[in-house]
Amino acid sequence: MAERRALLRRLAVAALLIAAAAGPVALYDRLVARHLLERRQAPPVLSPQMIIDAFHQLSYYDSRTWLLNTWLGIPTRQNPNDVWITQEIISETKPDVVVETGTFHGGSAVLWAMVLGQVKPAGRVISIDIEDMVDEATLPPVAREKVTFLVGSSTAPEIVAEVRRRVGGKRVLVVLDSDHSMKHVLAELDAYAPLVQVGDYLIVQDTNLNGHPVHPGSGPGPMEAVDQFLQRDSRFESDRSRERLLFTMHPKGYLRRVRS
């Protein structure tokens, strides 16, 4: 029996080593395999949530590979799973306007505009940042046709007033991706949540910070803002069905307005 277990362990380690040689996470696999070999242990049995969190940690934090993502060559700080889900939300709700806080280089604004253009030809994107970094993002024709880049803080009274003026009574999807401190996200929720109509969405991005599950100890951030906001505003609920692709950087962050 002991011999059989030892053989199984060797086979498991060999399988990990083969996977390590072939796969994109070779270094991580090799470290795990060496760890198991040194301790003569069989691979641990992990729960689905542990596997999801481990992948999240590996993808987001350890490899930081998502920082290399581009859309049409424009640096874009988005997780493809969440882009897919946002695309589904835009296609289902067909907002007139997507309001995004946190433009960065404009890749995400161009992306939302391309999706929106297919389901709502007259739709527009408003994207806000304290810095103007959008040179590349103004090149695709869709950006010139559909995107308004505003420079200023997303919570500055003049910016909020300008967004409200442009949105008017139209249907809106709000995407919060700027300063990820709890204080700022709460201020953004106060400013922009009232624009969202029943059945439509407000996405609080990067709720994974401060140990949910990455960057433990980074301090209260988007997740804590969502928790406070949902406690005090019963018009919104977190739509956890939007986390069906398992790995999301916005756990609990897909907020849907359910009451007027």
Binding mask 234-253 for ligand SAM (x = CB under 6 A): --------------------
The answer to whether residues 106 and 126 touch, using CB atoms and an 8 Å cutoff, is no
> What b/e sequence results for 147-183 when a residue is b if at least 16 CB atoms lie within 10 Å of its CB, and e otherwise?
bbbbeebbbeeebbebbeeebeeebbbbbbbbbbbbe
Q: Which range binds ligand SAM by CB under 6 A, 97-105, 138-146, 223-231, 244-252?
A: 97-105
Q: Binding to ligand SAM by residue 72, rule CB under 6 A?
A: no
Nearest-angstrom CA–CA distance, 15 and 71: 36
Q: How far is the CB of 27 from ligand SAM (least distance, A)?
A: 26
Q: How far is the CB of 159 from ligand SAM (least distance, A)?
A: 8
Q: Binding to ligand SAM by residue 3, rule CB under 6 A?
A: no
Out of 128, 193, 204, 255, the residue judged to bind ligand SAM by CB under 6 A: 128
Nearest-angstrom CA–CA distance, 27 and 205: 29
* Token code pair at residue 78: 């988005």
Q: Which range binds ligand SAM by CB under 6 A, 21-29, 48-56, 122-130, 137-145?
A: 122-130
Pick between residue 178 and residue 248 the one whose CB is nearest to ligand SAM. 178
Pick between residue 43 and residue 152 the one whose CB is nearest to ligand SAM. 152
- Helices then strands, counting H and E runs in the chain, come out as 9, 9
Which residues, in sequence order, are CB contacts of 111 under 8 Å at separation 6+? 71, 76, 78, 83
Q: Which range binds ligand SAM by CB under 6 A, 10-18, 29-37, 127-135, 220-228?
A: 127-135
Out of 102, 221, 222, 253, the residue judged to bind ligand SAM by CB under 6 A: 102
Instruction: Return the residues of window 154-193 that contact ligand SAM according to CB under 6 A.
Output: 154, 177-179, 184
Nearest-angstrom CA–CA distance, 97 and 23: 41
* Token code pair at residue 10: 């060797």
Out of 2, 131, 141, 234, the residue judged to bind ligand SAM by CB under 6 A: 131
Tell me, rounded to whole angstroms, the distance of Cα 134 from its chain centroid.
20
Q: Binding to ligand SAM by residue 153, rule CB under 6 A?
A: yes
Q: Binding to ligand SAM by residue 101, rule CB under 6 A?
A: yes
Q: Compute the half-sphere exposure of residue 47: CA atoms within 13 Å on the CB side of its CA.
A: 3
Q: Which alpha helices (DSSP H) does 94-208 contain, by range?
A: 107-119, 141-146, 157-167, 182-192
Out of 104, 229, 236, 247, the residue judged to bind ligand SAM by CB under 6 A: 104
- How many residues bind ligand SAM (CB under 6 A)? The answer is 19
Q: What does the binding site for ligand SAM look like in residue numbers (CB under 6 A)? A: 76-78, 101-104, 107-108, 128-131, 153-154, 177-179, 184
